Amino acid sequence: MRDSLKPDLEFALEIRLTLKKPRLELNGLPRGGNRLSVQIEQGEFEGPLLKGKILPGGGEWPHIRTDDVFCFDARYHLQEDDGTIILIQNSGYRHASPEVQERLWALRPGDVVPPDAYYFRSMTRFETAPGKHDWLARHVFVGVGERLEKGNRLRYYKVV
């Protein structure tokens, strides 16, 4: 018998996005750490119930704490192939050993850091108008990410 108070996860979609360089940096903040600003250039997404592209113009504004935890805050728009616009909001954490953090910070062409070498998780919300894709705005989602040379790959799971 299934425990109704133990959630299951159901794959919803995968996003691949390209981040624009250079990123802006605000270092030595009064509250500690540093703040980055990174624009999203482009990308695509696909899942069992939707597919489309990432619209340019969104961004990511991570705070890098003094303990080197990367606290990200990202907002950008998805456009489903049927024209539906979907806002995604991600907040979460990325952290690793100092050696892995250094590799993630300065990825070079051909560099690959295995995603199991670091923690990259998000709490994710979607907003969209009523219609075919409004199920996104009625469920809780968690994301698991991977840092790539030019951006990120994230997989989102609906909590059921």
- CATH assignment at residue 134: 2.40.160.20
For the stretch 73-90, pLDDT in tens is 999 999 999 999 999 999
Residue 1 belongs to some domain of the structure: no
pLDDT band at 22 (very low <50, low <70, confident <90, very high): confident
pLDDT for 23 equals: 84
Residue 108, pLDDT above cutoff 80: no
Residue 105 belongs to some domain of the structure: yes
Residue 42 belongs to some domain of the structure: yes
pLDDT for 149 equals: 84
Residue 140 belongs to some domain of the structure: yes
pLDDT for 49 equals: 97
Number of domains, the chain: 1
Residue 95 belongs to some domain of the structure: yes
pLDDT for 66 equals: 93
More confident residue, 12 or 111: 12
pLDDT for 95 equals: 95
The DSSP-derived string for the chain is ---TTS--EEEEEEEEEEE-SSPEEE-S-TTSSEEEEEEEEEEEEE-SS-EEEEPTT-EE--EE-TT--EEEEEEEEEEETTS-EEEEEEEEEEE--HHHHHHHHT--TT----GGGSEEEEEEEEE--SSTTGGGGGS-EEEEEEE-SSEEEEEEEEE-
Distance CA 139, CA 124 (A): 10
Residue 62 belongs to some domain of the structure: yes
Residue 109, pLDDT above cutoff 80: no
pLDDT for 115 equals: 92
pLDDT band at 3 (very low <50, low <70, confident <90, very high): confident
Residue 111 belongs to some domain of the structure: yes
* Peptide bond preceding 22 in cis form (omega within 30 of 0): yes
pLDDT band at 131 (very low <50, low <70, confident <90, very high): very high
What is the model's pTM? 0.91
Distance CA 36, CA 34 (A): 7
Percent of the chain with pLDDT over 90: 77
The range of the structural domain enclosing residue 40 comes to 9-159
> Over the range 57-76, which residues count as b (16 or more CB within 10 Å of their CB) and which as e?
ebbbebbbbeeebbbbebbb
Give Cα separations from 51 to 89, 128, 136, 152, 156 (angstroms).
18, 15, 13, 17, 13
Residue 142 belongs to some domain of the structure: yes
